[in-house]
Structure 1
Amino acid sequence: MAKGVYIHIPFCHQICNYCDFNKVFFKNQPVDEYIECLGKEMKMTVAKNPQAFERIETIFFGGGTPTALSPEQLERLLILVKEAIPMDAVKEFSSEANPDELTREKIKVLHRHGVNRLSIGVQSFDQELLRKLGRTHDNDHVYKTIQAAKEEGFTNISIDLMYGLPGQTMEQWQHTLKMALELQLPHFSAYSLIVEPKTIFYNLMNKGKLPLPGEDNEADMYNYLMDTMEKSGLEQYEISNFGKAGHESLHNLIYWDNEEYAGFGAGASGYLDGVRYSNHGPLKKYMEAIDQGELPILNRTQVDWKAQVEEELFLGLRKSAGINKTHFSNKFGKPVEAVFGDKIIKLVQDGLLVEENDQLKLSKNGRFVGNEVFQEFLLD
């Protein structure tokens, strides 16, 4: 049974230099037709398996840039969502947003139709770094957008930040965190730059034209981030996420808890009835399938027991609370030690994992090398 719904809006007015998500330039795209196709996909999916959608708790608009849509397009999308998805149990309805695109009119539309959480892509408070990232907003956009959102009734607002950026110094990172915390928001996400293939940054890196801070400097930035957030009373509940109690991202927790969710839109992924699936990415292929009365699914993978236990570890260990041993045993029919015993012992001895009461979790040192720890839980 799905707990969450992800809806992908692949349109952007500006493509960021680091982004590898499925996206296209907004201009001259069939945006209105795409929105109608989203409505049809949602209705078809729910009709095929209504039981899976009886207790949807979260909905998330991601992209691309959902706020690239006009107020009228946003309103139409929100109407279609409410027509297709049972809303009775929804606790959190989130939308990603760009600071220079989230006008007060769009804020009003989102709030009026039940969106109660905003995730705003700020990334940095340094204008030169924003330019390198390909971002088009400035700090004034951030302040005005957040103030307008608060005035229109939003209390659950998060901003995204990035570190390990080309040419970024520790002083610039410290300044960004200072500016961010002065906003007195209940949630922050902070990610290190990962240079992905098929991005402008990837091409620059291959040409030797992307001066990154280096692993040691990036580790120092992450350590400063953790210490600063803790001193500010924000709990690190996941490797890259910090929030006040009661303001954790419920939608992202569905992923980290290895629960099921539906994904709608071009290039979206989902996990339903033990099957992970992904949709066609190109708009034409996605929309052609919908117009033919078919679901636009490109591939399906049945998640077997081996893959399930692997995912339970490397998703669950992203959370500061880690995984609960009793829950693991009840879910998979055997103790976690019976599956990963030797690996757990080694990682605990290396100081990367901690066993505390009934929890297994990353140590602080383990957070710096999380991906390396996760790889240890891939079964032969």
Structure 2
Amino acid sequence: MAKSVYIHIPFCVRICTYCDFNKFYIANQPVDEYLDCLIKEMSTREDKVVETMFVGGGTPTALSEEQLEKLLRAINDLFVITKEYTFEANPDELTEAKIKLLKQYGVNRLSLGVQTFDNELLKVLGRTHHSEDIEKAVNLSRKHQIESVSLDLMFHLPGQTLKQFDDSLNKALALDVDHISSYALILEPKTQFYNLYRKGRLKLPNEDLGEEMYQHLKETLKASHLNQYEISNFAKEGHESLHNMVYWKNEEYYGFGAGAHGYINGIRYGNINPVNQYIKKIQNNELPKLQSSEVSIKEQMEEEMFLGLRMSKGVSKTKFENKFNRTIEDVFGEHVKELTSQALLIDENDFLRLSNRGQIIGNEVFERFLLS
């Protein structure tokens, strides 16, 4: 049975230049109808008691206070959340009134879409907040005793220098946050950045600088109060993202809302993206699924490796064997031997994990675990 839930709120006050998630400019959208349909879809689930809940987007804090409370009340009516309850938020939208609501309804973790503390780069990214909004949001979260606060930071941004990235890291650490997710910009199709790049109007730092930034990230946070537990994630002890670990451990979860994805009873599915089509499906008492497919044992084994290797601890050979009745050596032995000889993979005790170099070129390593 699934022990986690993802809820998608596909509305934003502004569309960021780099974002390829399912999102829509909130003005003139049927937000209240969407929430009614989302609540109706959530009521179809089998499990009431779940360990983790993650409300993402889009931007959940783009909702008005009334809409936010409507969603929070419905979640509390439909689910019992036993461990981690996360909301994504933009720093400038996280008003004190909204934080009070989140706290009142049991939210114990906030994930703030900061991306950078540099105001000029924030403009380039199309963000609506400024660096001072970040400190204000963190301080308000502490004031109202939100148990865990996480910041997202990006690197390898257009025009970004190592010094600018270092400055953002140090400002994040000075706020004594509990968790930092930091990742390189990826140019995704259908984004404003991608279109500008194709037209020759966007210049990215070279790949060597991107690797240098990642190394600097690891070294800086290693010397801090945060421990690396996944390729792009660092946390104080006890503040790791339990919800994201569900994905990396290849475990099942519900996905609700337009464009949401889920994985239930061996079936991976994705909901339709357009808000109006999602609403129409729900109002017609139809499932809003765009596609679904059974995940084969072969695919499960592949995913067990390239998702599990994202975690610093790596993949347990014992767990793999218990789950699939086959050893990693039996299925991937040749690849494991080659990758360990290249010092990209470390075989230690019961775990296979990425080396430092393996983390830097992780995608190349993961591709080796795709069975023909």
TM-score (norm 2): 0.99
Deviations 1:334-375 (A, max 9, x none): 110000000000000011000010000000110000000000
Equivalent runs, 1:45-64 vs 2, <5 Å:
46=45, 50=46, 53-64=47-58
Equivalent runs, 1:179-328 vs 2, <5 Å:
179-328=171-320
Counterpart of 1:33 in structure 2 is 33
Residue among 330, 340, 364 paired with 1:338 = 330
Deviation for aligned residue 1:54: 5.0
The more displaced of 140-149 and 13-22 is 140-149
- Give the conservation status (yes or no) of the 8 Å contact 2:318–2:350: yes
- Give the conservation status (yes or no) of the 8 Å contact 1:124–1:176: yes
Deviation for aligned residue 1:149: 1.0
Deviation for aligned residue 1:84: 2.0
Counterpart of 2:42 in structure 1 is 42
Q: What fraction of aligned residue pairs are identical, expressed as a percent?
A: 55
- Give the conservation status (yes or no) of the 8 Å contact 2:65–2:97: yes
Counterpart of 1:21 in structure 2 is 21
- Give the conservation status (yes or no) of the 8 Å contact 1:258–1:311: yes
Computed over aligned residues only, the root mean square deviation of the Cα atoms, in angstroms, reads 0.8
Deviation for aligned residue 1:90: 2.1
- Give the conservation status (yes or no) of the 8 Å contact 2:22–2:58: yes
Equivalent residue letter for 1:76: K
The more displaced of 134-143 and 192-201 is 134-143
Deviation for aligned residue 1:4: 0.6
- Give the conservation status (yes or no) of the 8 Å contact 1:122–1:161: yes
Q: How many pairs does the alignment contain?
A: 372
Residue among 170, 173, 182 paired with 2:165 = 173
Counterpart of 2:77 in structure 1 is 83
TM-score (norm 1): 0.97
Deviation for aligned residue 1:55: 4.2
Q: Which runs of 4+ in 1 moved over 3 A?
A: none
Deviation for aligned residue 1:221: 0.2
What is the alpha-carbon distance in structure 1 between the residues aligned to residue 42 and residue 297 of structure 2?
Answer: 29
- Give the conservation status (yes or no) of the 8 Å contact 2:48–2:78: no
Counterpart of 1:6 in structure 2 is 6
Counterpart of 1:377 in structure 2 is 369
1:260 match: secondary structure: coil
Deviation for aligned residue 1:155: 2.5
Equivalent runs, 1:46-195 vs 2, <5 Å:
46=45, 50=46, 53-85=47-79, 87=80, 89-195=81-187
Ranges in structure 2 where 5+ consecutive residues have no aligned partner:
none
What is the alpha-carbon distance in structure 2 between the residues aligned to residue 265 and residue 196 of structure 1?
Answer: 22
What is the alpha-carbon distance in structure 2 between the residues aligned to residue 216 and residue 233 of structure 1?
Answer: 27
Equivalent residue letter for 2:292: R
Deviations 1:94-140 (A, max 9, x none): 00000010100000111100111000011101111111000111111
What is the alpha-carbon distance in structure 2 between the residues aligned to residue 283 and residue 136 of structure 1?
Answer: 23
